């Protein structure tokens, strides 16, 4: 068991049960928040995993302000996963985040938030990640700033591709709120002082934690645009039914 602070939201997908009774193989897929937040002891534990690819789903701004530490032997992919409904990269500068926070209780703000999750499954960042998975170049580690949304949806997609049920994949997504509980509590206290009105606070949980309905928007987008998950895997990543069986044989046990 790795000795990393829980609020870093580090965990692996290994051990999660698939629909055929097999388990996701351990030591293949790791997820985390910003690697720059790890201390030296924690970094040494990450380095011991012999990661081959690191996927940084943050924007260029986020990455430049808080760059990843060097992990020997790992190829780094800086691929922004979050866009608006028009495919434009979102502004995650302090001013951009403040603007989103102020809008979030309005109709425009809710539409912006929904658009973010609606587009996530179709991000080119995930296409790059699945290409590596198909080439069997694991272990991989994927992360964003908090390891919750961009990272969380990536985990949901991997798990469902390997045969984990949608319900169980979403349960794993929601574990972020357990891992980051102290961070969420501090944030909500600050927002209460700023906003004051209790009824406007609940949507803000998603800024430091996760909301199940947001992940459900991503899965609904897959159904609306592709019909089903199997078609989504084929059209987005080139994963046929036959290759999915092959990948499940490789990455589950």
The string of pLDDT tens digits covering residues 130-184 is 999 999 999 999 999 999 999 999 999 999 999 999 999 999 999 999 999 999 8
Q: Could you give the C-alpha distances from 210 to 46, 116, 171, 172, 247, in angstroms and in order?
A: 24, 13, 11, 11, 29
How far apart, in whole angstroms, are the C-alpha atoms of residue 170 and residue 220? 13
Handedness of CA 193, 197, 201, 204 (dihedral sign): negative
3-state secondary structure of 227: coil
Q: Could you give the C-alpha distances from 212 to 42, 171, 205, 215, 231, in angstroms and in order?
A: 29, 8, 11, 5, 23
Looking at residue 2, what is its pLDDT? 75
Looking at residue 95, what is its pLDDT? 64
Count CB-CB contacts under 10 A for residue 28.
19
- Pairing relationship of beta strands 53-56 and 29-32 according to DSSP bridges: unpaired
The string of pLDDT tens digits covering residues 73-86 is 999 999 999 876 66
pLDDT tops 80 at residue 1:
no
At 207, the pLDDT band (50, 70, 90 cuts) reads confident
- CATH fold label, 6-233: 3.90.190
Q: How far is CA 179 from the centre of its chain?
A: 14
Average pLDDT rounded to a whole number, residues 17-31 = 97
The domains of the chain are located at 6-233
pLDDT tops 70 at residue 224:
yes
The string of pLDDT tens digits covering residues 90-109 is 666 666 666 555 555 554 54
pLDDT tops 60 at residue 29:
yes
DSSP letters spanning 130-163: HHHHHTT---EEEE-SSSSSHHHHHHHHHHHHTT
How far apart, in whole angstroms, are the C-alpha atoms of residue 9 and residue 31? 8
Average pLDDT rounded to a whole number, residues 231-244 = 98
Q: Which long-range contacts (CB under 8 A, 24 or more apart) does 231-234 make?
A: 232/121, 233/161
How far apart, in whole angstroms, are the C-alpha atoms of residue 88 and residue 4? 34
């Amino acid at each position: 068991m790795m000795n990393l602070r829980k609020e870093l939201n580090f965990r692996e997908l290994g051990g999660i049960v698939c629909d055929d009774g097999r388990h996701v193989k351990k030591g293949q897929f790791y997820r985390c928040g910003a690697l720059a937040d790890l201390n030296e002891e924690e970094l040494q534990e990450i380095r011991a995993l012999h990661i081959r690819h690191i996927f940084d789903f943050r924007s260029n701004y986020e990455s430049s302000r808080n760059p990843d530490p060097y992990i020997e032997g790992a190829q780094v992919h800086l691929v922004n996963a979050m866009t608006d409904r028009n495919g434009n990269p979102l502004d995650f500068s302090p001013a951009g985040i403040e603007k989103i926070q102020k809008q979030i209780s309005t109709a425009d703000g809710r539409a912006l938030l929904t658009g973010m999750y609606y587009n996530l499954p179709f991000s080119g960042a995930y296409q790059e990640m699945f290409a590596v998975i198909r080439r069997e170049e694991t272990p991989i580690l994927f992360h964003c700033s908090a390891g919750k949304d961009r990272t969380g949806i990536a985990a949901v997609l991997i798990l469902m591709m390997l045969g984990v049920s949608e319900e169980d994949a979403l349960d794993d997504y929601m574990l972020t709120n357990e891992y980051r509980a102290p961070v969420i509590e501090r944030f909500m206290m600050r927002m209460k002082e700023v906003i004051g009105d209790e009824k406007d606070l609940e949507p803000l949980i998603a800024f430091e934690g996760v909301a199940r309905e947001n992940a459900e928007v991503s899965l609904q987008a897959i159904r609306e645009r592709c019909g089903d998950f199997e078609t989504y895997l084929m059209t987005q990543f080139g994963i046929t039914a036959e290759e999915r069986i092959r990948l499940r044989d490789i990455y589950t046990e």
